[in-house]
Amino acid sequence: MSQESIPAEPILFTPEELTLLGDEQFFRAKARIMKKMKAIVEGVYDGLQQELAGVTLLAPEGFSPKSHQFVKGEHLEDFPYQYLDYFKHFRGEEKFTFRTLLWWGHHIVFALILEGGHLAQYKKNLMTRYGGVADQGLALCLGGTPWEWKRGEGYTMELTWERKNELMALLDRRSFVKVARFVPFDHPTVREGRVPDLGRATLRQLLPIII
């Protein structure tokens, strides 16, 4: 006995999707933007190299000061992105990196990510040298993984003098530390083309944690 075929459901586009499908300028604009994003992370890389010249970091064993990587992708929660890891050390559970992430539709993030190795000393440095990071627009990231990039309630805690005791309690329970600056795309630094300068300044603020 033959089984009656079931017609497939029609695949329908919304009017907005049809407009995008017919927009031949969209991907040309996207290509231009992605090229500019790459130029920004390359500029950050140059600035960070200058900032770290002659600096000795409290780094994990086997760390190479020249190690870095540029990454480009399309699907960080469905949004394109580019990032630079410099400096960079990933070995087993050890993480020691400064990441610059440009996340389409969201923001730019400069993040110091620390796990394993000298973590206890990094936490101590953060607290004893807190004056350099408090009230500077930096935040402790609260996610259960270093690879969460959202900002706001439940995701980040602003590093202010008023929250120093709260920070101390949080650090005691955390298996990694991630301190970050989040920069919206409408920020004057972005509009004026000074993102590499801000990346370098952010690393300079965070260096006391890792030296």
SS3 for 149? coil
0.85 surpassed by pTM = yes
Q: Is 187 exposed, middle or buried (0-12, 13-18, 19+ CB in 10 A)?
A: middle
Question: Residue 186's pLDDT is what?
Answer: 96
CA distance 153 to 144: 14
Query: Token pair 């079931």 is at which residue?
Result: 6
User: Is the torsion defined by CA of 90, 96, 100, 101 positive or negative?
Assistant: positive
CA distance 49 to 203: 11
What's the chain's length in residues? 211
Question: Residue 161's pLDDT is what?
Answer: 95
CA distance 70 to 26: 25
CA distance 197 to 110: 12
Question: Residue 2's pLDDT is what?
Answer: 53
H-helix or E-strand containing 10?
Answer: none
Question: Residue 19's pLDDT is what?
Answer: 94
Give the residues of the chain that fall short of pLDDT 70. 1-4
Q: How far is C-alpha 110 from the chain's CA centre?
A: 5
User: Could you tell me whether strands 139-141 and 176-183 are parallel, antiparallel, or unpaired per DSSP bridges?
Assistant: antiparallel
Question: Residue 3's pLDDT is what?
Answer: 60
